[in-house]
Amino acid sequence: MKEEISKLLKILFLVHFFVAVIFGLVFTFVVEYYVSITGWPYLDPVTGRVLGAVFLGLAVASLLAWRETKWHHVKIIVQMEITWLAIGTGVHIFSIFYLPVPIIIWLQTAIFIFFFVAFTWFYYDQEMAK
């Protein structure tokens, strides 16, 4: 197994940090505005803010992982990201086909899929390099 984290994985952690901070701040502090400008049909500000807190927590995890150099220090974070992104993508896809949601969900789904594929690829790249 490769002990060192690849430079591209470190870049992915940093990109994920910034994307998660943006979504986290939006959902934590201006969820009502986000709902109004996107035409989202549902508003539960508490749930939206909790989701924002989740994104901010994931952002911190990615920032901490970015600072690491050893794979075994970040492996569990990558596994958690893969799990979160797989479930989140599934929920997004279900919502697209079964709920009245605005077009912005396609962008959110694309972002989830991008990070899911990237984290999964790096996980297998690191694990198969034994």
Q: Please report whether residue 19 resides in a domain.
A: yes
pLDDT in tens, 18-61: 999 999 999 999 999 999 999 988 899 999 999 999 999 999 99
Which pLDDT score, from 0 to 100, does residue 72 have? Answer: 94
In the predicted model, what is the mean pLDDT of the chain? 95
Q: What number is the average pLDDT over the span 108-115?
A: 98
The number of domains in the chain is 1
Q: Please report whether residue 71 resides in a domain.
A: yes
Q: Please report whether residue 2 resides in a domain.
A: no
Q: Which residues are within 8 A (CB) of 102 and not within 5 positions of it... i.e. 6 or more apart?
A: 38, 39, 40, 41
Pair of tokens at residue 82: 């893969």
Q: Please report whether residue 1 resides in a domain.
A: no
Q: What number is the average pLDDT over the span 8-18?
A: 98
Global pTM reads 0.93
Helix (H, G, I), strand (E, B) or coil at 70: strand
For 56, the domain range is 7-128
Which pLDDT score, from 0 to 100, does residue 129 have? Answer: 81
Which pLDDT score, from 0 to 100, does residue 130 have? Answer: 61
Q: What number is the average pLDDT over the span 52-71?
A: 97
Classify residue 39 as left (phi > 0), alpha (psi -120 to 50) or beta.
Answer: left
Which pLDDT score, from 0 to 100, does residue 5 have? Answer: 93
pLDDT higher than 60, residue 1: no
